[in-house]
Every structure is written in C-alpha cells, then in structure tokens.
Amino acid sequence: MIYAGKNTGILVQGATGSQGKFHINLMNEYAKEIGSAGVVAGTTPGKGGQEVFGVPVFNSVIEATEEHDIGASVIFVPAGGCGDAIMEAADARIPAVITITEHTPVHDIMRAITYARSCGTRVIGPNCPGMLVPGECKLGIIPANLCMKGDVGVVSRSGTLTYQVISELTSAGFGQSGIVGIGGDAVIGQTFSEVIDEFHADGRTKTVVLIGEVGGNLEIEGARRAIDLGMPVISYIAGVSAPKEKRMGHAGAIVEGGEGDASSKIERLRALGIPVATRPSQIPELIHEVR
C-alpha cells in the first residue's frame, strides 16, 4: 500500500465546487473500472445533504467520518481555506491528506503540516496532482488513461510533467507501481525521501523515477534515500534553460546552500551515480540501463 489502497474510502473536501465535482466523477469512474472503494463522501460547509454524482455531501469532516470509513482525503477547497481544510482532516484523524489546491499561503501550510504531523496525518502537496496506483486507487487528478500497472515508482514535484513521464513510460512498456505528485510549492508535506520510503515498504517498486525542478534540494535528499535503501533510481530535472525563478532572497538561498538551480542539481545527482535524462522521452532507456 502506498498511502492508500484498494479498500481506502476517500473523502473529497470542496466537493461542490467545479473542480471538486469534475474530479469526484473521474475518480469514481476509475474506482468503478478497477473495483476500488473510491470517493465515499464529500464536504462543503453549508452544503450538507446534497449529492455530487451520487456521493453524499456533509457540512464537516467529522460528520462525514461518523457515517463513512475514510482513509484519505483529497482537498480542492480554495487557497485561502486550504490550511484550515488540512487541519480539519487531521483533527478527524484521517491518515492521509492529498492537497490539490494551488496558490496557498505558505504560513498556513507550514502550520497545517505541523499540526497534521501531531495528529499522525501525512500531507501530500499542496499544489500537486495527487497520487495514483494503477489498478488500486486514484486520489487526485492524474489522468488514469495514461497509466499502466507495473513496477516503476514515479515521484515528482510537477503536475503535468508527471503525466508526460507516465505516458513515456507506458508507451515504452514500463508500467507503474505508484505515481505520487508531491507538489511544486516551497513548503510541501511529503517529500521525495518519504515517498521513496513508502515505495520501499510497499515492496512492488523495482525502479524509482525522480522528477525534479529548479529550487530547493529535496531531489538530492530523495536520491540519497533511494541509494541507502538499495533502490535503483533515475532522474529528470526540468528547468535547465528556463529563466531563473524568483528567489526567496539571499537568506533563503543560504539555507538551501545556494545550489537550487537545475544544472548544479543534475551535477550532484550524477556525482551520486544516478543517470539523469536530458528530456522526458529518454527516461525509458535509462531504466533499461539500471536494470
């Protein structure tokens, strides 16, 4: 199991908004196809009693958990209420919270992640596409039609770039054991290393594909963890030619060791002996190399 499994009942917070509705439908279409539990309840304050594609909507997370067995929540609420939504799910002791919402205030997220940790809740995201384990569960917005069951674990900071990588893998015949988008914000819940731990514990991942970008040094930590666990890992880092991202200022660069740009990150990964693709379509051949 990677955060959630076939029998995990899913809650959607922000169920009655346009994105919430749209993706409840897609998640449950996939759940029906593979025979998993899917989305069993939704919440939107003040909209309790409504239904979205047959899924009952509650006013609060605690009410939803009283009537349904919920193992994970997917959050689509607007940015300003996102930190609150994470804490509400954690307060109801939901084990995993997947936060799709983007543009969330960073202080809210730091606080929510800290609170969630104290409740034993693991947070994925924000600003992420969620996760999908082919044949088992879909929590979020990763297009299921691109995925195929297999033994490659994909972990990524990006959304759409992840879909690109999955479609390259699937067309080359490499199925996936799990796909986890950890989010593109400066502060996120689960990081590369934690997801790699999860792949390792699950035991079905033979190769890890680590997709990174400019900024921060989480990729290096993740790569080191995979090496420590004896898991073969290959990587792709986007942003070699992109204009420099806005920086947090000098102090932020100090904390991160000033090595967040794509080229130096690629150098550091290669120095660890990790093959790094120059473009996504090269990933399948690199997997052949490490196997």
Partner 1 sequence: MKFREYEAKQIFRDAGIPVPNSVLITSPNEAAPALSIVADNVVLKAQVDVGGRGKAGGILPANADNINAVAAELFGKTIKGLKVEKVLVEEALEISHEYYLSITIDRSKKMPVILFSKEGGVEIETLAKERPEALRRIYVDPSFVTLPDFIVRNAIGDAPKEIGKIIRNLYTVFIAKDAVLAEINPLVMTPQGVLAADGKIILDDNSLARQGISENRDLAPREAEAEKHGFSYVELDGSIGVIGNGAGLTMSTLDIIAHYKGKAANFLDVGGGANSDRVMYAVRLVASMPGVKVIVVNLLGGITRCDEVAKGIIAAGISQPVIVRLAGTNEAEGRRLLEEHGYRMLDTMDLAIRAAVEVAQ
Q: Does the protein bind partner 1 through residue 20 (CB under 8 A)?
A: no
Q: Does the protein bind partner 1 through residue 143 (CB under 8 A)?
A: yes
Q: Measured from the CB of residue 197, what is the shortest distance to partner 1 in angstroms?
A: 16
Q: Find all residues with CB under 8 Å of 34, minimum gap 6, and list them.
A: 6, 135, 136
Q: Measured from the CB of residue 203, what is the shortest distance to partner 1 in angstroms?
A: 27
Q: Is 271 helix (H, G, I), strand (E, B) or coil?
A: helix
Q: Find all residues with CB under 8 Å of 203, minimum gap 6, and list them.
A: none
Bridge partners, 72 (sequence order)? 10, 96
* Residue 250 appears among annotated catalytic residues: yes
Candidate ranges 56-64, 198-206, 212-220, 266-274; the one touching partner 1 (CB under 8 A): 212-220
Candidate ranges 6-14, 41-49, 61-69, 245-253; the one touching partner 1 (CB under 8 A): 245-253
What 166-173 contacts at long range (C-beta under 8 Å, 24+ apart), as own/partner pairs, is: 166/142, 168/280, 168/281, 168/283, 168/284, 169/209, 169/283, 169/284, 169/287, 170/146, 172/284, 172/287, 173/284
Q: Measured from the CB of residue 237, what is the shortest distance to partner 1 in angstroms?
A: 9
Write out the catalytic residue numbers. Answer: 250
- Kindly list the residues in this chain that would bind partner 1 in the complex (CB under 8 A): 19, 23, 26, 79-80, 100, 102-107, 110-111, 113-115, 129, 141-143, 145-146, 156-164, 167, 184, 186-189, 191, 211, 213-214, 216-218, 221, 238-243, 246, 248-256, 258, 278-281
